[in-house]
Amino acid sequence: MTASRLVIPDLAGKVVLITGGSTGIGAAVARGFAEQGSRVAVGYHSSPDQAHALVSEIKAAGGEALAVKGDVADPKACAEIVAETTSRFGRLDGLINNAGLMLGRVHSLEASDEHVQAVIDLNARSIIWVTRAAAPWLERQGGFVINTTSIAARNGGAGGAMIYAAAKGFVSTITKATPRS
């Protein structure tokens, strides 16, 4: 018995930017879009070896990919990530806001203001910053945005993960509340 392969023809030739695309869920998403014929921008910050290896893997399989370095916890870098992607591919059809980390387990009442800000910037505010930069391109192309979150958004996080859980709860809420057209 041969397993059937999922084919989504509408994704062929589309340009998709995946933040946090070099490892884990983001890398799997990048592979999945590339397998459908999408041109993929693999966003990364601290894992250049994995990002470049993934781009090489996609290219070796006949796909088109680009590694795009930038820290989504910085609004200026968010705009630069989108600009580099659109400069290379000439368009942007989809955005996967996947970047995020817990940045360590710290009890919420013991967390420094800097830690709280870093977790919120990376996991919550980055969603707005990258989407804001991508919006003109996505609107032009009739594109899409997918935001990834965490089960911590539903269960409140455990053992020093409450700030992360709250940031991911923000992502869940803003995703539900954003108008769809």
Q: How confident is the model at residue 3 (pLDDT cuts 50, 70, 90)?
A: low
- Over the stretch 139-173, which tens digit does the pLDDT of each residue have? 998 999 999 999 887 887 888 889 999 999 999 99
Residue 154 Cα to chain centre, angstroms: 20
Residue 87 host element (H or E):
helix 75-89
Do residues 150 and 165 lie in contact, with contact meaning Cβ atoms separated by under 8 Å?
Answer: yes
Q: How many residues does this entry show for the chain? A: 181
Q: Look at strands 144-147 and 94-97 and give their pairing.
A: parallel
Structural domain for 171, as ranges? 13-177
Residue 181 has what pLDDT? 42
Share of the chain above pLDDT 90, in %: 76
Neighbours of 82 (CB within 10 A): 28
In a domain, 6, yes or no: no
The answer to whether residue 164 is catalytic is yes
Q: Which of the residues 96, 164, 165, 169 is marked catalytic?
A: 164
CATH assignment at residue 133: 3.40.50.720
In a domain, 3, yes or no: no
Higher pLDDT, residue 77 or 174? 77
Q: How confident is the model at residue 102 (pLDDT cuts 50, 70, 90)?
A: confident
Strands of the sheet containing 65-69, edge to edge, are 65-69, 39-44, 15-18, 94-97, 144-147
Q: Is the whole-model pTM more than 0.85?
A: yes
Mean pLDDT along residues 122-132: 97
Query: Residue 121, class by beta-carbon neighbours within 10 Å (0-12 exposed, 13-18 middle, 19+ buried)?
Result: middle
In a domain, 47, yes or no: yes
- Over the stretch 49-75, which tens digit does the pLDDT of each residue have? 999 999 999 999 999 999 999 999 999
